[in-house]
């Protein structure tokens, strides 16, 4: 029996890593997936990158590059030896997604003039007469606020008592808000307008 073209397309996950106006690279995507795997194993000792690469279907050499940045940021620690590997440096509840993505991607800057450093506005030759910068700063702030409000624990599946994933009462995870995601939209809502 032949498989239809649409069925074949549905069976494979597309490799989309963002190409829109505001996107994160594969460093951000793969690094977050790596951190989620370490979060799932938190308290169980070091995990090898080979295990994580297999579980997430990611290239191990790329994970080796990412873990260097995460270790330098103080988010993971390594253990050498036969039973060595990587583990979180602190509990998932204490690791903000802002810290994770900044370690992997660098500063969150939608436009060159909207960096968190006040000097960034001077990098654009239009900054003295431009009011559009206000939009880029609001977008940056909405993204950074959303990332700062989430921890790694928010991305972990609930655990039943005893550390088994799946049903049962959630441990170490905030309840997800109900209804449509409006936090970013609300933070972009018009206010008094651009500074004069």
Render pLDDT for 33-88 as a digit per residue (tens, 0 to 9): 999 999 999 999 999 999 999 999 999 999 999 999 999 999 999 999 888 899 99
pTM of the model: 0.71
Q: What is the DSSP string of 26-43?
A: HHHHHHHHHHHHHHHTTT
pLDDT score recorded for residue 184: 43
* Total residue length of the chain: 196
The pair of structure tokens assigned to 174 is 């905030």
pLDDT score recorded for residue 155: 95
Q: How far is CA 77 from CA 51, 129, 184, in A?
A: 16, 47, 33
pLDDT score recorded for residue 21: 59
Render pLDDT for 13-27 as a digit per residue (tens, 0 to 9): 444 444 455 778 999
The residues, any chain, with a CB within 8 Å of residue 62's CB and separated by 6 or more, are 26, 30
Asked if residues 96 and 73 have their Cβ atoms less than 8 Å apart, the reply is no
User: Which residue carries 């032949």 as its tokens?
Assistant: 2
Question: Which residue would you say has higher pLDDT here, 61 or 186?
Answer: 61
Asked if residues 7 and 84 have their Cβ atoms less than 8 Å apart, the reply is no
Give the number of other Cβ atoms within 10 Å of residue 91's Cβ.
Answer: 14
Please give the CATH topology (third level) of the domain spanning 24-161+180-187: Arc Repressor Mutant, subunit A (1.10.10)
CA 3 – CA 184 distance, rounded (Å)? 41
Render pLDDT for 129-182 as a digit per residue (tens, 0 to 9): 888 888 888 999 999 999 999 999 999 988 644 444 544 334 444 444 444 444
Q: Where does residue 8 fall: left (phi above 0), alpha (psi -120 to 50 degrees), or beta otherwise?
A: alpha
Render pLDDT for 101-142 as a digit per residue (tens, 0 to 9): 999 998 888 887 777 777 776 777 777 788 888 888 899 999
Per-domain residue ranges for the chain? 24-161+180-187
DSSP code of residue 76: E
pLDDT score recorded for residue 159: 64
The residues, any chain, with a CB within 8 Å of residue 192's CB and separated by 6 or more, are none
């Amino acid at each position: 029996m032949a498989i239809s073209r649409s069925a074949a397309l549905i069976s494979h996950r597309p490799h989309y890593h963002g190409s829109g106006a505001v996107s994160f690279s594969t460093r951000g995507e793969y690094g977050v997936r790596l951190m989620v795997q370490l979060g799932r194993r938190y308290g169980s000792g070091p995990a090898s990158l080979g295990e994580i690469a297999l579980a997430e279907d990611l290239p191990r050499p790329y994970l080796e590059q990412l873990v260097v940045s995460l270790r330098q940021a103080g988010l993971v620690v390594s253990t050498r030896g036969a039973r060595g590997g990587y583990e979180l440096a602190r509990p998932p509840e204490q690791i903000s997604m802002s810290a994770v993505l900044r370690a992997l991607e660098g500063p969150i800057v939608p436009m060159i003039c909207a960096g968190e450093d006040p000097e960034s506005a001077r990098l654009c030759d239009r900054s003295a007469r431009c009011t559009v910068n206000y939009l880029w700063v609001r977008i940056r702030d909405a993204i950074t606020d959303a990332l700062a409000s989430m921890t790694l624990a928010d991305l972990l599946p609930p655990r039943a008592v005893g550390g088994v994933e799946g049903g049962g009462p959630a441990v170490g995870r905030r309840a997800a808000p109900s209804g449509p995601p409006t936090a970013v939209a609300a933070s972009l809502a018009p206010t008094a307008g651009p500074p004069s």
